[in-house]
Amino acid sequence: MLVTNKLEESPSGGRELLCRLNHDALKEIYGDRLIVFELSKSSIRGLASLIDAFIGYIDGLSAETIADALSQIHDRNVEKIFVDGSNFGEFVRVVKAKFSNVRIYTFFHNVEARFFLGALKQFKTLRAVGVLAANYLAERKSVIFSDKIICMNERDSRLLERVYGRPATDLSPMSVQDKMTSIKSGSAKSNAEKFVLFVGGTFYANQSGIEWFVKNVAPRISIKTCIVGRGFEKLKDELELKGKVEVVGEVEYLEEWYLNSYFVIAPIFDGSGMKTKVAEALMFGKKIIGTPEAFAGYEDIADRAGRVCSSADDFVSAIDSACDIVESPFDKGLREIYEARYSLDAARDRLKLIMS
């Protein structure tokens, strides 16, 4: 059985993309035997909702949905459950109490306690405090009651051990569906204006990172920066700089932006897990200029993939010398790294081994 948030037909956010990929990988492993139990996300609003959240009823979990899942586990003799998110800890606890022989494999997209602590630092509200507390309590249950804990990188595993006293049992890095196969020939525009690309939605780390870049780096470089991602169209007036920064916002075909870019930037200073934009850039054979946080989990390929920058001066220097970094618009070697480590096939093989 796979327990996951509602799967989108055309996912756009990093977590949604990875949930879909995990589903597809498990489907290739188990075929028609895979039972998919989807949960429709719900937000924490009001006192009653907050009390429920502290119990563990978050992101679509409730007494009713858990009871439904328990019934299916019993009726269909489920032996293994892949829980796609450490926020479903109350589900993990209840299942383990009722079916002690069922093996539970929980996939940690982030260390949620760390992720929501970062959000609290950015948005200092009582609601942010409540969301952090609810996710900490839920995640703690996942750590305690899961048979296997799957993290994306060693950093998250070490952080889990510091926060909850137990590290990951297995690692499965960020992976993304291959979009190169769906690109029409001629999509790349060889004579188009050169630009560097930032991709991401307006969650706190993306927004604060690109705001920093626009203020401290963009005015000092000669190449234009294009910002693509859901929600950024609302920040057009705030972020655009004539001739320097273009805010595009949400687009229908993200692939074309990657394909036409000179290289990708990732000025991310906070977060957990691994960054989708780095795996996507590798998929399209694009170099990445980013922070140590952006390359978390990719450390062993960082020198090959691009340049790690810790300051505005580092970014300016790296971008100014991009001709030394970017050998061609499409780097076949980076594409090969994606195929070997961060593709659906790579994820399927890892999960098959973990769940054997």
pLDDT digits (tens, 9 = 90+) for 76-131: 999 999 999 999 999 999 999 999 999 999 999 999 988 888 778 777 888 788 88
d(CA 184, CA 124): 45
CA neighbor of 155 nearest in space, from 299, 290, 342: 299
Whether residues 135 and 42 fall in one domain: yes
Is the separation of the CB atoms in 252 and 231 below 8 Å? no
- pLDDT tens-digit readout, 164-178: 999 999 999 999 999
DSSP of 125-162: -HHHHHHHHHHHHHHHHHHHH-SEEEESSHHHHHHHHH
Query: How is residue 342 annotated by DSSP?
Result: I
The residue type at 119:
A
CATH of the domain at 236: 3.40.50.2000
The residue type at 48:
A
- Specify the pLDDT at position 341: 98
Alpha helices in 272-311 (DSSP H): 276-283, 302-305
- At 306, the pLDDT band (50, 70, 90 cuts) reads very high
Query: How is residue 339 annotated by DSSP?
Result: I
- At 189, the pLDDT band (50, 70, 90 cuts) reads low
Q: 81: helix, coil or strand?
A: strand
Whether residues 114 and 194 fall in one domain: no
Paired with 265 in beta bridges are 289
Residue 183 has pLDDT above 70, yes or no: no
Is the separation of the CB atoms in 225 and 218 below 8 Å? yes
Average pLDDT over residues 135-160: 97
Paired with 307 in beta bridges are 289
- At 186, the pLDDT band (50, 70, 90 cuts) reads very low
Longest dimension (CA), the chain: 63
* Domain that includes residue 297, residue range: 180-342
Tell me how many domains the chain contains: 2
The residue type at 299:
E
- At 238, the pLDDT band (50, 70, 90 cuts) reads very high
**In-domain check, residue 354:** no
Whether residues 25 and 88 fall in one domain: yes
- Mean of the per-residue pLDDT values of the chain: 92
